[in-house]
Amino acid sequence: MDTNDELAEALGVFMEEARELLAQMEEILLREEAGGGSEEDLPALFRCAHTIKGSAGMFGFDEVVRFTHVVENVLDRLRNGAIGFSRQLVGVLLDCQDHIAGLVSTIAEGGTPDIARSDELIAELRAWTAADDAAGAAAPRQLPAESAVRVAASGGGGTGSDYWHLSLRFAPGILAEGMDPMCFINYLGTCGRIVHVETITDHLPTLDEADPELCHIGFEVALDSPAGKEEIERVFQFVAENSHIVILPPHSKATEFIGLIESLDEDSARLGEILVACGTLTPQELDTALRAQQQSRQDTPPRLGAILVDSGMVAPAVVGAAIEKQQRNEEKRRSETKSLKVPSERLDALIDRVGELVIAGAGTHAQAVKIQRRDLQESASLLLSLVEDIRDMALRLRMVAIGEVFSRFPRVVRDVSRELGKDIELRISGAEAELDKSMVEKVGDPLMHLIRNSMDHGIEAAEVRAASGKPVRGTVALNACHESGAIIIEVADDGGGLDADRILKKAIEKGIVAEGANLSTQEIYQLILAPGFSTAETVTNLSGRGVGMDVVKNNVEALRGTLDIDSVPGQGTTIRLCLPLTLAIIDGFHVGVGSTHFIVPLDMVVECVELPTGLDHFDYMEQRGEALPFVRLRQLFGEHGPAHIRPRVVIVRFAGKRAGLVVDRIYGKCQTVIKPLGPLFEQVPCVSGSTILGDGEVALIIDVAQLIQGVVTRNWQATHGGTARGATALAA
Amino acid sequence: MSKTVMIVDDSASIRQVVSITLHGAGYEVIEACDGKDALTKLGGQRVHLVISDVNMPNMDGITFVRELKKLGSYKFTPVIMLTTEAADEKKRDGQAAGAKAWVVKPFAPQQMLSAVSQLIM
């Protein structure tokens, strides 16, 4: 891989990361706006902007850096509590977040960033940054005041029986630099009580060698002080670097530090950071130790802990506690990052191969059955069941939580409710329900339409709600759950419900249904899915143009799903999407009509019965006291091969409706890898795809959803019968 | 005996604030408005500490410190340089010239006082 490729790849990672961070920002901002923010939110928010800025800088995206820097400043002030959240600020920050996203994608695509917009937003942010200067100027003044208080407090003397121990070895040239060691010791007295000073004269040269301008003496000082290590270190801030100053905390402090280490937030993974955070090590000491580590000439540089203990900067017990803490943090981090990112095309390739493997395995098994070799059959079955396991696992790799789609809706609901001037809350449940990644990508747009529709047409204006005794705040609920191999997604509102009379009147006006048609309430509700239908009295920016619901319906059907509408006048409307979990491989139920093979998705098969005799001219039968409509596949697909004397009925169910499929033979369960029919046959009704059976035969996969719809409404025979017959010609 | 501090800065207001603060803490203060002025005003008299700005007309702080250190009577006199945080380069220059202590501008009077007392208490 050359550098350019690496850069391009890194850029991809950056884009992905930026997208995630921006999504996180949005989530937090919305939470803050709703008043549900937590303590970790503000640092997290800051970190998002900070990280984006940092990585953008690495790629030279200067405009992103420039703009994000301002946002980061505001977030920093929020984090420090210098400013608070307001509705207005959240609004501006959300705009900023959008703008950063825009900048990142524009620049990554090689476009010119919208600098004017940046400046506009920066100007808006100024309201929150300008005050910063005043506060910032005030900040340093607080610092000495605080230390003055501490000095005063220490004046009374500490009560502990053990003391700080300071070991001072000044650089010989210190005097020439204008520093007097005695001054430092005197000044140390402002931090606490100097209990004892021992002068170390070991390095004092003989009189004739002595240079009076050099400092040869060292000091060991016992200090009784409540001050922190950093404060004591500050006394020696001007001492030249080649002086050797060691500050050892009292024994009682060691246990205090260990306690502090235990109570630290679980986020630093570096030993030095942990020690600095608990106060036993000062940043400057850490710097020195790290430099010593870097400058070490050994092949394996000494460990930081060893350096710290050897140089006496930190007590061994404290280092031990910190190392333990570090390991725990690392473990935690490792368990957090157990997920991998894999390009989806690799997964697709894997699933494709696994699909072929399933077919080959089934073929081997069929051969073993044919030649009646028991041992071979057994090993072939074992192989097949293992391959099936692998298939399930491979498919699960593609499964993602529907929450990925849901997460974008809180923002939509917020923006739309503002636009509409309605107070609407979004409730999400079942976000953890999983479905195939490809489905997740496609289900977003239909859901968006449905939610907007619910908000615009479903939820009434506040005064109407109040008048009918409902809470003024409307609710749109988004629920997801699994049901027999499918995922059900509901968009429910607590609005006014559908007005069947008005819908019917409108439909007649638009010529969608004939006047005087006798329709059930359900059928009337379905009319809102018809192309060109809209009952909204005013066309709003969002919906009401009569496009939308039919597009939603088409999208859902393209995913082999169905769409149901339920409504209670005055209480609300629920729109239910029922979608298959995956589009790639299914468990199939293999049946035969004449010489043609068909596959019915097994999830939808309820049971199999024999077709009662004497029903030749009927298209429904009685089953457990209920009428069951059925369809003869022989007729539907124009099959002329030899008929079976005792046809069977495969009873299928989809979206709460049942129907029977009359077939000649039942072969049983089989693994079905769905192969698309190709553009030429995509329009063939009642067939959703094809597959290759173990023996190499082609079988058509029956589109149960469409078929049930047809059986229930009995409208396919007139419109699609001819083409459906064409499909069998192709299969044969 | 009270100790004497010299403040060298071209800004009269800074000189004034520093003087007031140090006077309040019991120090004698000599003011000078640039390096040249400072060298003249020193004239061999005893000074315990020098505080000097970097950017000044006539003679800048770095040159001033270098000249000061050449004079025998001030060889051991500590110097505090006033730097801006952005000017790390300047800080290094100042250290090379012999000013080992520094206070970052803008500073609060208390900060200045504590730096002074660290060096000549």
Q: Tens digits of per-residue pLDDT, A463-521?
A: 888 888 888 889 999 999 887 667 899 999 998 888 888 888 888 888 778 787 788 88
Q: Which residues of A touch B110 (CB under 8 A)?
A: 141, 144-145, 148
How far away is chain A from the Cα of B29, in angstroms, using its nearest Cα?
Answer: 18
What CATH number did the domain enclosing B91 receive? 3.40.50.2300
Closest B-chain CA to A187:
B118
Tell me the C-alpha distance between A308 and A319, whole Å. Answer: 8
pLDDT for res A268: 60
Cβ contacts (< 8 Å) between A176 and chain B: which residues? 75-76
Per-residue pLDDT tens over the stretch A363-400: 888 888 889 888 888 998 898 889 888 877 887 787 88
Instruction: Work out whether strand A424-429 and strand A474-483 pair parallel, antiparallel, or are unpaired.
Output: parallel
Coil, strand, or helix at residue B19? Answer: helix
The domain in which residue B56 lies consists of 4-120
How far does CA A607 lie from the centroid of its chain? 40
Q: How far apart are CA A158 and CA A165, in angstroms?
A: 14
Q: How many domains does chain B have?
A: 1
pTM for the structure as a whole: 0.44
Rounded (to 5) percent helix, strand, coil in chain B: 45, 20, 30
ipTM of the complex, rounded to two decimals? 0.77
Least confident of A58-62, B110-114, B116-120: A58-62
Distances (CA, A) of A1 to A4, A9, A60: 8, 10, 22
> Which residue in B79, B100, B111 is closest to A144 by CB distance?
B111
**Does the pLDDT value for residue B106 go beyond 80?**
no
The minimum CA-CA distance between A20 and chain B, rounded to whole Å, is 34
Of B98, B107, B114, the CB nearest to A177: B98
Q: Cα torsion for A43, A49, A55, A57, to the nearest 10°?
A: -130
Confidence of residue A180 (pLDDT cuts 50, 70, 90): confident
Q: Judging by DSSP bridges, how do beta strands A244-248 and A164-169 pair with one another?
A: antiparallel
Q: How would you list the strands of the sheet with A474-483, edge to edge?
A: A424-429, A474-483, A486-493, A572-580, A562-568
Summarize the confidence of residues A243-259 as an average pLDDT: 73
pLDDT at B6 over 90: yes
The answer to whether the CB atoms of B98 and A186 lie below 8 A apart is no
Q: Which H/E stretch holds residue A648? A: strand A648-654
More confident residue, A650 or A107: A650
